[in-house]
A and B are shown apart, each in its own frame.
Chain A
């Protein structure tokens, strides 16, 4: 499953071969095929940092705060990011695990009048950003879905029920394209897990309706499993680099 990765490396500047390009379809609508590069989980390193606690200490407190804020600001706007890696030929979604049974996507609430993409990047950095001062590159270009909460209650639906004119919360899910390699710092009170799509599929009992429907939501993307990056450094001996490529190819073919 070796494909040419594009963003960093060689051939420089080449776009990933999308379905349209491969099959010579000219001028396709940009949303018809949306190729997304995924990298192996092993490309990423995960460190830890101090705990990041929730704003609400209990469920009732949460809804009370929601009510209060609804009064003042109106509908709450939340954003969450879906970070995908791949392993064993299958996309995995990164989830934060609280305790043993609760999973959530990284993200949170937007401040009033904050732009949603900026807000998401802010929140992602707060949650998973590295501590050593390096910048995180988050690329947010795609919306995966919208969910609305019609009342001050747990249920959320991917539509606004007909009889609701003022939903209390609107949550937006974005696809976050990860760089080829990155370092993340995970707060100590969370565990970062990579859940394969089949684990989520049809498992709303385990993950809730939003996360368990991610496989469906992601299915529209053309996920490119980049594992070999043919980055040739012309300053180093070429033969050694070729050797490493060969090793990688062998490793991948043996999976």
Chain B
């Protein structure tokens, strides 16, 4: 990177800033010597230098960075308002008689510079330190009593926590910066899962639902079969851990923005990014919608307090909207009965007998594309549980279906035939026959009866179709032959056809016989044909199945 002779390091960390949430500058080598003035050493520990007390500046100055070689005794002064200035502290200290103030350094939010309400005060003598401990808590600064403590980790974390206060209690585990919160204590996992998931989906996480986060949350008895929707609904169901209304998005989040671990990808390294977003990194997860700008301080002052209900209310909607969309994709047990019309024949009330049942109540259409007039009946079908095995029930279903098929086919065919459309009538019947033959129970006697009845009808119609034409038999037969040949040719391409072809060929042969032998023998031949047909069909069916 440094190709041009200028040290690029100059600006390398320009935007990374200074991690103030950690121990005061102890971690960041880069700034160690910048912040801790020439006198080296860790500011957070009380210095025990044995140098004599050199007179320090008495003018109110915030920092004495260079040249100060006296003792440095550091204290935390907290519980300040965010508008308490360094000058306020200086004045306060002067009023209690501290004269050797060395430095004041506030802890701030990196993202917006706002004070966290506590500061490190460095004085030059134990006496001053004692004075501060004793007297400063007696003075109010902007209506608040300062809290003094030694510089140690506990105090620091306590002040940090205080800065973050106002965050809903359920999420106190979420202040952990890491994104591995899912692995934390199980009872918390539930709400957290959703929160974390939501954060990780910058774009309207609520509407699209959380990513499948693995096992359904522990506390989801209400959602037995809906793993995909497990995230948000439990949140909704968890009122104790989830107070959407009181959820001030994050006046606290403001405080937590210190070192922003970008949980999400898109706004990568920058803590601030688009202003509302980083506030999500702190998991007030159920608040997927960014609050109204960076909310003010952590202090329990009305303005920030007034905000939470505002954004809290719209936040409620997103969690609420999840369950409804969640329901439709739910699997098996709650299947919508309307999805299975054709497969459930009526049970028992209508008899399962094999008569070519015209009288059957019409059921839902068979699952094939059949001439559909009578099958468009409104769903008064019965819902029956599906069972894949060829049980008695299923047998009955199939048989009923076949019966339906055959009865409707017959009536349709008769209709067509009386209208003169013999071709379609014959086609109808043929289709019905093949359908029944293809069903699982075709070898059953009852089905065979169905089939034979269909075939009878078929022949009847054929007769009719022959009878309806006037001219000589021979010519008719020739016409018929031609017709049949054409039909057979056109039908040959259809896969269902073998039978029809066969039949047609046999019919052709019949016709030949007829033509030759005259009408008197036609019937006998037809009978013979029928027998032959049946034989052939049986052969066929046995070959097929």
Q: Contacts A151-B105, A154-B18, A166-B62: A98 and B82 contacting too (C-beta < 8 A)?
A: no
Bound Cα distance A54, B31 (Å):
19
| CB-based contact B10/A58 at 8 Å | yes
List A contacts of B35 (CB < 8 A): 152-153
List A contacts of B62 (CB < 8 A): 165-166
Contact of A53 with B by CB under 8 A = yes
List B contacts of A104 (CB < 8 A): 11
Contact of B212 with A by CB under 8 A = no
Contact of A67 with B by CB under 8 A = yes
List A contacts of B86 (CB < 8 A): 163-166
| CB-based contact A101/B1 at 8 Å | yes
List B contacts of A202 (CB < 8 A): 273-274
| CB-based contact B34/A64 at 8 Å | yes
List B contacts of A189 (CB < 8 A): 4-6
Residues of chain A from 147 to 196 with CB closer than 8 A to chain B in the complex? 150-155, 157, 159, 161-166, 188-190
Q: Contacts A100-B1, A161-B115, A163-B83: A155 and B110 contacting too (C-beta < 8 A)?
A: yes
List B contacts of A208 (CB < 8 A): 14-15
List A contacts of B110 (CB < 8 A): 155
| CB-based contact A59/B16 at 8 Å | no
Complex: chain A residue closest to B32, CB-CB: A60
Q: Contacts A59-B13, A205-B273: A98 and B8 contacting too (C-beta < 8 A)?
A: yes
Bound Cα distance A164, B272 (Å):
21
- Least distance between A136 CB and chain B CB atoms (Å): 23
Q: Looking at chain B's contact residues, is the secondary structure mostly helix, strand, loop, or mixed?
A: loop
| CB-based contact B84/A153 at 8 Å | no
List B contacts of A164 (CB < 8 A): 85-86, 106, 113
- Least distance between B278 CB and chain A CB atoms (Å): 11
Contact of A143 with B by CB under 8 A = no
Contact of B204 with A by CB under 8 A = no
Contact of B12 with A by CB under 8 A = yes
The interface bits of chain B over 1-42 (1 if a CB of A lies within 8 angstroms of the residue's CB, else 0) are: 111111111111111111000000000001101110100000
List A contacts of B115 (CB < 8 A): 161-163
| CB-based contact B14/A157 at 8 Å | no
Which of A64, A99, A101 is within 8 Å of B3, CB to CB?
A: A99
Interface residues on chain A, size class: 35 or more
| CB-based contact A152/B106 at 8 Å | no
List B contacts of A204 (CB < 8 A): 15, 270, 272-273
| CB-based contact A53/B6 at 8 Å | yes
Bound Cα distance A161, B82 (Å):
9
Interface size for B (C-beta < 8 A) is 50
Which of B9, B82, B269, B272 is within 8 Å of A162, CB to CB?
A: B82
Contact of B55 with A by CB under 8 A = no
Contact of A57 with B by CB under 8 A = yes
Complex: chain A residue closest to B3, CB-CB: A99
Bound Cα distance A64, B274 (Å):
32
Contact of A209 with B by CB under 8 A = yes
Bound Cα distance A153, B35 (Å):
8
List A contacts of B2 (CB < 8 A): 99
Which of A51, A53, A100, A153 is within 8 Å of B31, CB to CB?
A: A153
Most buried by B among A60, A62, A64, A189: A60
- Least distance between B26 CB and chain A CB atoms (Å): 15
Q: Contacts A51-B4, A54-B6: A59 and B18 contacting too (C-beta < 8 A)?
A: no
List A contacts of B3 (CB < 8 A): 99
Contact of A56 with B by CB under 8 A = yes
Q: Contacts A60-B34, A204-B272: A154 and B15 contacting too (C-beta < 8 A)?
A: yes
Contact of A102 with B by CB under 8 A = yes
Bound Cα distance A58, B2 (Å):
13
| CB-based contact A165/B105 at 8 Å | no
Bound Cα distance A67, B62 (Å):
12
Contact of B424 with A by CB under 8 A = no
Which of B17, B37, B82 is within 8 Å of A155, CB to CB?
A: B17
Bound Cα distance A71, B61 (Å):
10
The interface bits of chain A over 55-94 (1 if a CB of B lies within 8 angstroms of the residue's CB, else 0) are: 0111110111001100100000000000000000000000
| CB-based contact B106/A98 at 8 Å | no
Which of A58, A63, A71 is within 8 Å of B7, CB to CB?
A: A58
List B contacts of A62 (CB < 8 A): 10
| CB-based contact B113/A155 at 8 Å | yes
Which of A58, A68, A71, A163 is within 8 Å of B106, CB to CB?
A: A163
Contact of B66 with A by CB under 8 A = yes
List A contacts of B7 (CB < 8 A): 54, 57-58
Complex: chain A residue closest to B37, CB-CB: A67
Q: Contacts A67-B65, A102-B11, A205-B269: A162 and B85 contacting too (C-beta < 8 A)?
A: yes
The interface bits of chain B over 107-122 (1 if a CB of A lies within 8 angstroms of the residue's CB, else 0) are: 0101011110000000
| CB-based contact B34/A152 at 8 Å | yes
Which of A99, A153, A154, A159 is within 8 Å of B8, CB to CB?
A: A99
Residues of B within 8 A of A (CB): 1-18, 30-31, 33-35, 37, 62-63, 65-66, 80, 82-87, 105-106, 108, 110, 112-115, 267-270, 272-274
Add 13 more A-B contacts to A157-B113, A163-B108, A204-B270 (CB < 8 A).
A57-B7, A58-B9, A59-B10, A63-B34, A67-B37, A98-B4, A98-B10, A98-B11, A153-B34, A154-B13, A155-B108, A162-B115, A166-B62
Q: List 7 A-B contacts (CB under 8 A).
A: A67-B63, A98-B8, A150-B108, A153-B35, A157-B112, A163-B82, A163-B108
- 8 tightest A-B contacts by CB? A189-B4, A162-B83, A163-B115, A205-B270, A161-B113, A99-B8, A63-B34, A157-B113
